[in-house]
Amino acid sequence: MSTPWHHRYAQRTQRMGSSMIRELLKLTQKPEIISFAGGLPAPEMFPVEAFEAATQRVLRQHGSQALQYSTTEGYLPLRELIVEKMGRYGIEASVDNVLITSGSQQALDLIGKLLINPGDLVLTEQPTYLGALQAWRAYQAEFSTVPIDDDGLRIDLLEEALCGGPKFMYVLPNFQNPGGVTLSYERRLALIDIADRYGVPIIEDDPYGELRFEGEHLPPLVVLDADKLNGRQYTNHNIPNSYFKGNVIYMSTFSKTLAPGLRLGWIVAPASVIQHCVMAKQGMDLHTSSFVQMVAYEVAKDGFLAEHVRQIRQVYRERRDIMLAAMAEHFPPGVRWTTPKGGLFLWVSLAEEMDSTAVLQEAIAHNVAFVPGATFYPDNDQQKNSFRLNFSNATPEQIGEGIGRLGQVLEKVLTPVPV
Ligand X SMILES: Cc1ncc(COP(=O)(O)O)c(C=O)c1O
CB under 6 A: which stretch of 56-64, 97-105, 181-189, 291-299 binds ligand X? 97-105
| Residue of 28, 72, 97, 104 interacting with ligand X (CB under 6 A) | 104
State the SS3 of the chain: CCCCHHHCCCHHHHHCCCCHHHHHHHHCCCCCCEECCCCCCCHHHCCHHHHHHHHHHHHHHHHHHHHCCCCCCCCHHHHHHHHHHHHCCCCCCCHHHEEEECHHHHHHHHHHHHHCCCCCEEEEEECCCHHHHHHHHCCCCEEEEEEEECCEECHHHHHHHHCCCCCEEEECCCCCCCCCCCCCHHHHHHHHHHHHHHCCCEEEECCCCCCECCCCCCCCHHHHHHHHHHCCCCECCECCCCCCCCCEEEEEECCCCCCHHHCCEEEECCHHHHHHHHHHHHHHHCCCCHHHHHHHHHHHCCCHHHHHHHHHHHHHHHHHHHHHHHHHHHCCCCCEECCCCECCEEEEECCCCCCHHHHHHHHHHCCEECEEHHHHCCCCCCCCCEEEEECCCCCHHHHHHHHHHHHHHHHHHHCCCCC
| Residue of 126, 177, 289, 375 interacting with ligand X (CB under 6 A) | 177
Q: Is 207 in the site for ligand X (CB under 6 A)?
A: yes
| Residue of 51, 129, 266, 347 interacting with ligand X (CB under 6 A) | 129
Q: Is 105 in the site for ligand X (CB under 6 A)?
A: yes
Ranked by CB distance to ligand X, the top (closest) residue is 103
Q: Is 205 in the site for ligand X (CB under 6 A)?
A: yes
| Residue of 255, 290, 293, 375 interacting with ligand X (CB under 6 A) | 255
| Residue of 112, 131, 240, 342 interacting with ligand X (CB under 6 A) | 131
Q: How far is the CB of 101 from ligand X (least distance, A)?
A: 8
CB under 6 A: which stretch of 2-10, 101-109, 281-289, 309-317 binds ligand X? 101-109
Q: Is 39 in the site for ligand X (CB under 6 A)?
A: yes
CB under 6 A: which stretch of 49-57, 100-108, 228-236, 238-246 binds ligand X? 100-108
Q: Is 343 in the site for ligand X (CB under 6 A)?
A: no
Q: How far is the CB of 41 from ligand X (least distance, A)?
A: 9
Q: Is 174 in the site for ligand X (CB under 6 A)?
A: no
Our CB check for ligand X shows the closer of 191 and 409 to be 191
CB under 6 A: which stretch of 18-26, 41-49, 238-246, 252-260 binds ligand X? 252-260
CB under 6 A: which stretch of 24-32, 103-111, 137-145, 191-199 binds ligand X? 103-111
Kindly identify the residues of this chain, within the stretch 256-275, that bind ligand X according to CB under 6 A: 260, 265
- Which residues make up the interface to ligand X (CB under 6 A)? 39, 103-105, 129, 131, 172, 177, 205, 207, 253, 255, 260, 265
